[in-house]
Structure 1
């Protein structure tokens, strides 16, 4: 069921959005060559423990697309891993492409956001290009998320950017409604038909999350952890996400990172 939030409820969601955005900003600044993925996970764990009213949306999360409950506080996807990456004992290397996806509940409200970046000095232009694509697709999707438009307008705007860059598009995983739970209605595919679908209304809060792999839209679940989604051909991927609210003044980003 699609739920619309009141102005008061959207205001109540903002602390969660700022908290998630702030953590991702700190991680972007501090993650470097040699950083261990488990250190990132522990950093987030400590932030949650220290924040009154905050709880992880990931620990013990067990949807049908994962194998057993997720046991960490953040998703860390590296190189050919693009979604749901399970943190493990790995020190980042020069040139690694890292995607961090984080959802936290603060005082009963969830915020969800993701960033991608390359660590070190040797930054492959093709890695920077796909990251830029996801960021531009996210901006386009947000701009289309206006009352009176259709959900298909958001999806089509995302897909248009990916097509312009020449990247294939997977429709199995995408954006979603956000509120008291992390994954709610509606599903927000990363491509769609303009002027079709659910009519967007003020009070709708959704996570928009373009993710693409360089040369395939086929992904598989890593059998070693039962969660991490990787590209079928080994090509690298990137992922960008914000939680946004549709208001009378247009879309408002709740997971601000400034």
Structure 2
């Protein structure tokens, strides 16, 4: 059972509604899968191949929906338990959407605060809005420790070293340019205090690029519970502990200043 840093049980999680990530993807693939299966039922020529394509598309859709509705929540609960929160941290979730990671973190911060930053794109998450996030926080009984901000990840409105933990779940890759994604990673490191922890979950090939840009951290695949349709769209976690004052911190400052 997950607990706060003091060993007390977490508050009950009621039924927040987090929506579906990139809702067009399961809609299009699910519709195509159904169409293929219906066509296979009527056709003789090419029936087997068409039915196989339909089955693959429907399986992809099922795995995708499981991840976005259940799997990612279980994975993030596990990962937040793993980093050893004490319960009084200040945490920032980048691209928080309707609050799936933000609220799971806030449940572990009875004496802390969880801030979310987002531009509230409905393309990236269905029904995405600041109001929906706050309503979900209230439903989960953590509304008193959650704040949301309309903010660009590449230019965060927070002072250096404002947060003990920074998280981001499948958000940074939505920035269209490599330079923009690097700026977002630099901003995450900037607002993180020395010794603080950065956790970025993103597609495996993106997470590797973030790690290469930062020049440190560990990469770990998050398993089948975080596949957006299949292993080819699996999610990897980048975990970084920001260097304390010294050579590592000086190197990090030079890298951030060079990308400013």
Give TM-score, length-normalised by structure 1: 0.26
Q: Which has the higher contact order (CA 8 A, sep 6+)?
A: 1
Bigger-Rg structure (1/2): 2
User: Counting helix residues as a fraction of each chain, which structure ranks higher?
Assistant: 2
TM-score (normalised: structure 2)? 0.26
